[in-house]
Amino acid sequence: MLDNLPRGTICIEDIEMGMTRHLRKAVTDRDIEMFAEVSTDHNPVHLDDAYAQDTIFEGRIAHGMLTAGLISAVIGEQLPGHGTVYMGQTLKFLGPVRPGDTVLAEVEVVGIDHAKRRVQLNTRCLVNGKKVLIGEATVLAPSRKFD
């Protein structure tokens, strides 16, 4: 048995259909600036108020992948948690996230393959109850058993 799994990690043996986890995060100007630095994506729609006003968004927006990163945080920290390996993710962006918006990132178990330790998750992000991102993730969940 593996006894070094971090507290809060949900092993494949304990994952059930319909399980959900979530987090809430207010997206700040600093978050957007830091993401631009790390990703090297300095598109002015994210960083320049005057430029962004003349776009279809009529104002600055957060990077889509910053929002998607919140899904990764739920998966990597909560469900299944530490030790999880991302295998794939689909994303569909439905609306912008703006500086100051609070994003609710949620994951829900919709498929489990115990033999392969694979878990299918529906993923979504909402702002004020409106979906801004949807998708599906496939992950390899940690196990209490040795391979």
What pLDDT is stored for residue 2 in this prediction?
Answer: 46
What pLDDT is stored for residue 8 in this prediction?
Answer: 73
CATH number for the region 18-27+62-140 comes to 3.10.129.10
For the chain, domain boundaries = 18-27+62-140
Q: How far apart are CA 137 and CA 91, in angstroms?
A: 9
What pLDDT is stored for residue 144 in this prediction?
Answer: 87
pLDDT digits (tens, 9 = 90+) for 39-64: 999 999 999 999 999 999 999 999 99
Query: Is the N-terminal amide bond of 80 cis, ω within 30° of 0?
Result: yes
pLDDT digits (tens, 9 = 90+) for 113-128: 999 999 999 999 999 9
Low-confidence ranges of the chain (pLDDT < 70): 1-7, 146-147
